Structure 1
């Protein structure tokens, strides 16, 4: 049901999956600040209720839909609820995911399947539901929330890395099909770095230490700004967020074998903090329910997380930056000719 409060606005209609916490929660707030109507899709009722309150306080309008994105029919029904409430879907953000933090040999087959169903198939089902309503209107944008791990697998996250790689390939295929059909429906992907979200306390963890993102760590608002920007500039096939993402993807393209050895040597320790894992795992049930608490957008890494990304500015403005460099180079060449 729609939450009470603000009057209907003229902003876009946006769907965000995984909206109850982390990047999804921050993204919902960022869209709301523009005056958009935001449909919040997730399993956790406590997190969804708190997210809806934040959306309204930010200036948007919230529609709460409790759904498990691994259920294709439920996702189709959720999309229909949004259209019934608001008449259309302008932007769909596929953000929901799950993970297991352990060596591959210690991940049970049903756990691996569950991560794949939520992270990859949840994206597929969300995209299909969005297209069902966007294609007849010949307009709309789908944003796939990816990761540097969509290109570069790391230890201890085999199921998650595999799912993100699958999303990358799926999205490229879909993009080609939309271009072939000359459709005005757009799809783009935002590749994220390590982000300060609660996921590291609720991921199913079989390691001796507490899970953590590989440094440097960025605040979820950095990711949210990139996602909102991508939703309005979806002609770009993808966006890289954070210098660490750019460095990782470039290194993987140039010397993947060396990167294999480097990650094997460093990333077991780099992904663990001292202390025993003690948070509720959300693989099968939401971490905030049925009698849990709201976890918000931020994790426990506020002291080290940065809320800015110069690389993101460069990525968003690379056209203007390239033009400026070209003009500057031309001016320099002209000056040299004049001096001669």
Structure 2
């Protein structure tokens, strides 16, 4: 039960009744399952909700209501209708969150995108469990989260080992009582032509970048099903839509993520279980990924510019946790590449022949024996940002995708102007 009084903004909530889904005792009185509890509430905006209640939203539209901490039923404050599977609003700030106050999110990376995401979720009031291969990097992240008053715990694990991934999910439920959202971030990079990769190296990329994601979903799904709702958020890549030279193993893994998440998503829809499955596909992100990858190019690898801020990906992850989304592309370049690939894969082949090889190489020498995280973590690298800050640009289309009313309004406006221009042309310039 929520152990704090919550503040709630919005319209009045009057005489709400909440059905109990189990026998309970409240204040020495016993109530049978199915009993309607008359809350007697007449709550004005920004007033206090009684103990054990928390605000909620439902079905993608903001519906400021309450959720009974006893039966977890969410009630619309305007209609009194039960909203099944509604995620929650932060009881202290009124901000929409994908979590109840006793829930947890999972993060599987302690630098770059994973670190940025864990920090943002924690700042929004979620209780997080972070995991990775380096105990020192985990301790650094947990200390940072606790430093601003949020709750976090950690567990060391290797995503290529199913039992260790399962232990993360079980640990989360043991510590916080439930698991609401699983965010799976980690990946390793291998930069080489296909014929310069050993079978063992290719398999290791698949084990971490694909099977790690598979194991994560397998570990989290039973807990989410038991709750009857939740979110699986898999960090894929635009290379799940379009493969790049020098990155055949990584691209293969990202294509595999798209394959199993698409099948799993439809299976959950068939079972009518409100668990969202989202694939987040970033463009080139300025993280330490480029520093820490294993390279056989003779130089430090690079992404094909432009680069985007890793916090943009963290914002996208937070957005899809709050607003169930099938796919979310991060970065204008990701959307442009997606359109080009759909229109003409041969055209993209030609573009990559022109720019794909030189732009993925820096002038900085690096050998396969130099520091990388292919088999072991780089313990002292806890940065969020990489080395390409000067090539980072903002993204307009991300904001539009997070504000669909504005997006479709703009599209409708452009279509209307185009239609008007066409009509004026037909009329010989007369309006």
TM-score by length of 1: 0.89
Structure 1 gaps, min length 5: 1-8
Sort the Cα spacing of 1:158 and 1:328 in 2 relative to 1 into closer, same or farther, 3 A.
Answer: closer
User: Is residue 393 of structure 2 the alignment partner of residue 302 of structure 1?
Assistant: no
The alpha carbon displacement at 1:298 in A equals 1.2
Q: What is the aligned length?
A: 323
Residue equivalent to 2:84 = none
C-alpha distance in structure 1 between counterparts of 2:125 and 2:392, whole Å: 28
Partner residue, 1:241: 330
Would the aligned equivalents of 1:50 and 1:294 in 2 still touch at CA under 8 Å?
no
In 2, Cα distance between equivalents of 1:309 and 1:322: 17
Partner of 2:373: 282
Larger RCO, structures 1/2 (Cα 8 Å, 6+ apart): 1
Choose the corresponding residue for 1:204, options 275, 294, 317.
294
Give RMSD over aligned pairs. 2.2
Deviation digits for residues 4-37 of structure 1 (CA, Å, limit 9, x no counterpart): xxxxx9264100112x111111111111110111
TM-score, normalised with respect to structure 2: 0.71
Residues 131 and 331 of structure 1: CA distance in aligned 2, closer, same or farther (over 3 Å): same
User: Equivalents in 2 of 1:194, 1:130: separation in Å?
Assistant: 28
Query: Which stretches in structure 2 are left out of the alignment for 5+ residues?
Result: 1-99, 424-429
Aligned to 1:303, the other structure's residue is in SS state helix
The alpha carbon displacement at 1:208 in A equals: 2.1
Identify the range of structure 1 (41-50 vs 148-157) with the bigger mean alpha-carbon deviation.
41-50
Q: Which has the higher helix share?
A: 1
**Superposed displacement of residue 59, structure 1:** 4.3
SS at structure 1 position matched to 2:279: strand
Q: Of 304, 312, 315, which residue of structure 1 is paired with 2:401?
A: 315
SS in 2 for 1:154: coil
In 1, distance between residues paired with 2:355 and 2:162?
39
Distance 1:326 1:35, change over 3 A: same
Q: What is the SS of the residue equivalent to 1:190?
A: strand
SS of 1:296's partner is coil
Larger radius of gyration: 2
Matched position secondary structure for 2:276: strand
1:258 alignment partner, one of 343, 347, 360 = 347
- Give the aligned partner of residue 162 of structure 2: 72
Query: Higher strand proportion, which one?
Result: 2
CA contact (8 A) 2:102 2:177 kept: no
